[in-house]
Amino acid sequence: MRKIIHCDCDCFFAAVEMRDNPALRDIPIAIGGSVEQRGVVATCNYPARKYGIHSAMPMAQALKRCPHLTLVRGDMAKYKAVARQVFAIYREVTDLIEPLSLDEAFLDVSAVTLYQGSATRMAEAIRARVQQEVGITVSAGVAPNKFLAKIASDWNKPDGLCVITPAGVEGFVTTLPITKIHGVGPRTAEKLHALDIHTCADLRQRPLTELVEQFGRFGKRLHDLSFGHDERPIKTQRERKSVSTEQTYPQDLPTLAACRDALPELIADLERRYARLDPAPAVRGVMVKVKFNDFTQTTVEHADPAPDTAQFDTLLNVGWQRGKRPVRLLGVGYRLAEAPPETQLTLF
């Protein structure tokens, strides 16, 4: 039986800023870009969330919801330094760590003998040390697999701990809303609800063949998760699957021609980012992202091991035709081939 801990720092960027400036602790704050540059919220603290503010929200919209919101420019170098401190504490418990981001990771403690082998006590000790030594809080979920551990870490946020024992899996999963399943976004949820599927118990009532017919390979995944089954191992090596860059423009790009004029600068930045990869994986495809002024967005991709700049122009044309309206953001990227087994990319 595996023992997995999922650790997730609470409103990480905001937590670091509140730690360094206690005056920010009890007021709504958001970390992100400026309104003038059409920035978005990277994260916000819990007082701000009471106003409906969330990550990826345009900063202008956040200020409309909370006019007294305090904006803080992010300091990525500082956040990376704090993340190193947090992960150093994780590594004192286990080397089997799968980072998901700067502030989130899975830990496999199945074979760890600390605290008499109790994953719950390990999670409690990790949380206490991070708070005492780093000055921020971590929520944790303990469960027999990654799927359940990730859900559990969010169950009692902020600064919470949720433990799902092997004996408690059945009772927990049966009533779990399908919206809690990773990968079930608004559209998939809408389709499931239309089929009168609202909980994992409802999913179990449907034949596997029906779910696969309706949702393809994800249907098999939904079927497995509805029973709490998840055999995915911890991946200590992070494989980069893409490299990309994007730009939000101070003024909307009004036409397709204006978007084309913006492409060369984006492609040049993409090439610089790709050149910094060491070693640089082979390219297996290209992609273009277009976000329109109504915040709808689309991504167009094309598989090609030897792309040229003309393909970005072709993909841009396809993407723009889907909306045919002014564009606030453009992005370009490469899909990367699988790295050699010896390659390990560092989190920082």
Active site residue 104: yes
How many angstroms separate the CA atoms of 262 and 344, rounded? 34
State how far the Cα of 85 lies from the Cα of 131, in Å rounded to an integer. Answer: 11
- The residue assigned the tokens 């999670």 is 123
Q: Is 103 annotated as a binding residue?
A: yes
3-state SS assignment for residue 228: coil
92, 104, 124, 338: the catalytic one is 104
Residue 269 CA to chain centroid, in angstroms? Answer: 23
Contact present, 347 and 238 (Cβ < 8 Å): yes
Query: CA Rg, the chain, in Å?
Result: 22
The pair of three-digit structure tokens given for residue 205, joined into one six-digit string: 């009532």
Q: Is the peptide bond before 326 cis (omega within 30 degrees of 0)?
A: no
How far from chain centre, in Å, is Cα 306?
Answer: 29
The CA distance from 125 to 138, in Å, is 11
Please name which of 232, 175, 228 lies closest in space to residue 198, comparing C-alpha atoms: 175
Indicate the residue type of 193: H
Binding residues: 8, 103
Q: Which residues are annotated as a binding site for Mg(2+)?
A: 8, 103
**Residues marked as catalytic:** 104
